Structure 1
């Protein structure tokens, strides 16, 4: 994986509500292929200039929190628009984390992967 977190512009390190029944960490990806008036994260959908979180920081967190959290949520924006989401999901699964994808479902070919 590259040494940067392409598109990850928000991070909730610990959540008890985003993945029911799971203590999780939530990564928010910028950008979206829709402009829903009820979007809960409009600031990350349209702002291309938000700072991105380094990938190594996220991977280190996964390593250090093993046993304390058991899930990773990929949210947004639309995470399926980013190659990094697929890489992070695969890495998280290899560490035996469960992965939840919050998506609008408009990119089924990306979601399948």
Structure 2
């Protein structure tokens, strides 16, 4: 259970394996290529959730990239049928999946990672990215009517203050934008990466705040 992953809610977090990005700063890299062994099957998951009715408000579905999972919609429907709220974490590379879920009112909160400014997106993600697809997801989420946040993990080697001004312009008018300070861990693929200073993080926040009223530092 978590009090951190779903704002103002007590939630369980479900991790789904596989991802189409190869971010060198990923904290869940064992989930990226789908090699992580399943810890819980569907029967165990729904038994867990059934026993916690009245204790949990919702379920966070994260990854990896959940939108790659062909069973995502069915999973969410079953969770919603149990009376739980659903928060979905996504990299924004699958607006078609988001559109389908939103059209059927299957998600209550979306957290989308915005990895960097558009011109640095592919380098930051480790694969070629069509930023028009990312823009489509941004617009879809902002106009969806559901609660949402955008977030960026700030890394000294990847981000500058100018990048956060460009990100702010890209998601101008967003309801909430979280800047997360990168944390060095053994599981991160590129061990050379480092955390920005607290002063850098504040500069990043101020740059984004020119375009977004609610910019919050996370992880300091």
TM-score normalised by L of structure 1:
0.81
Tell me what 1:18 maps to: 5
Query: With CA pairs under 8 Å and 6+ residues apart, which has the higher RCO, 1 or 2?
Result: 1
Q: Which has the larger radius of gyration?
A: 2
Displacement of 1:47: 4.4
- 1:39 is aligned to 26
Contact 2:11/2:59 (8 A) holds in 1: yes
Question: Is 1:98 matched up with 2:101?
Answer: no
Q: CA deviation at 1:51?
A: 2.9
Task: Give me the TM-score of the superposition, normalised by structure 2.
Answer: 0.43
Structure 1 unpaired stretches of 5+: 1-13
Q: Distance in 1 between matches of 2:91 and 2:73?
A: 16
Of Structure 1 and Structure 2, the greater helix share is in 2
Q: Name stretches of at least 5 consecutive residues in structure 2 with no aligned partner.
A: 101-220
Name whichever of 41-50 and 90-99 sits farther off: 41-50
Aligned match of 2:51: 64
Alpha-carbon RMSD across the aligned residues, in angstroms, is 1.4
Is residue 2:62 matched to residue 1:75?
Answer: yes
Structure 2 residue 19 is matched with structure 1 residue 48: no
Using the TM superposition, give the Cα deviation of residue 83 of structure 1 relative to its aligned residue in structure 2, in angstroms.
2.0
CA distance in 1, matches of 2:34, 2:93: 21
Tell me the number of residue pairs that the alignment of Structure 1 and Structure 2 aligns.
100
Q: Does the aligned pair in 2 maintain the 1:74–1:85 contact within 8 Å?
A: no
By how many angstroms is 1:52 displaced? Answer: 4.9
**2-side partners of 1:23 and 1:49: how far apart?**
26
In the TM superposition, structure 1's runs of 4+ consecutive aligned residues that sit over 6 Å from their partners are: none
| TM-superposed deviation, 1:94 | 1.6
